Chains A and B, each alone.
Chain A
Amino acid sequence: EAGVTQFPSHSVIEKGQTVTLRCDPISGHDNLYWYRRVMGKEIKFLLHFVKESKQDESGMPNNRFLAERTGGTYSTLKVQPAELEDSGVYFCASSQDSLNTEAFFGQGTRLTVV
């Protein structure tokens, strides 16, 4: 069974450009999460989808970030326009239900804004 996959694995963009990150969760997992680790700091929650609905987006830093999950399958996280402080590793995770014991993480997308 395929795990959580993220694309791209690395992205280097200039300040002011737009980047879209993609996450394919494990098939059948209704819950999808985005997390971010800024250099040297802890991994922090960004938002949580249940199917196509945003359940909690309290961790989204500002309105330059837009997450979507059309059809309740894969999700995208768009940053527009990117700023230097957006650099970090963006992780996606999925689980069958939101309270169960196991969530599976992807390998992350390393975003560098120069």
Chain B
Amino acid sequence: ELKVEQNPLFLSMQEGKNYTIYCNYSTTSDRLYWYRQDPGKSLESLFVLLSNGAVKQEGRLMASLDTKARLSTLHITAAVHDLSATYFCAAFRWVQFYFGTGTSLTVIP
């Protein structure tokens, strides 16, 4: 079974600071997703990473994928309060998502 480890579980960061969330997966995956969830809301797809070396950026978030290391990162640049949410990585293989435990991010002034 494909296992996904995500860390940290909780992250409290000051506005303006940078930080990285890490996502390791145990075996080959077809693609890697990053989702954001706000309380009571749907999982919102942020990025889909399809191949080794893929890098995608949207605003203050940048995701990358290293398939050889089986590692994806979500980098936050100059955090702002409205980035506070829970972030999930998910490896996709065949027809199934395999999720990490999620990172609960709180950005404090």
Task: Give A contacts to B, CB under 8 Å.
Answer: 3-4, 9, 31, 33, 35, 37, 40-45, 48, 55-56, 91, 93, 98-99, 101-108
Contacts and interface: CB of A to CB of B under 8 A. Distances in A.
Interface residues of B, number: 22
Contact of A41 (B40, B48, B101): B101
B99 interface: yes
A48 B95 CA distance: 8
Nearest to B3: A42
24 contacts: A4-B42, A9-B40, A31-B95, A33-B97, A37-B99, A37-B102, A42-B6, A42-B98, A42-B99, A42-B101, A42-B102, A43-B97, A44-B99, A45-B96, A55-B95, A99-B94, A101-B31, A101-B48, A102-B48, A103-B97, A104-B42, A105-B43, A107-B42, A108-B42
B22 interface: no
Interface of B: 4, 6, 31, 35, 40-43, 45, 48, 50, 88, 90, 94-102
A41 B90 CA distance: 13
Contact of B95 (A35, A40, A44, A56): A56
Contacts, number: 54
- What's the dominant secondary structure at chain B's contact region? strand
A93 B98 CA distance: 13
A3 B45 CA distance: 13
A43 B88 contact: yes
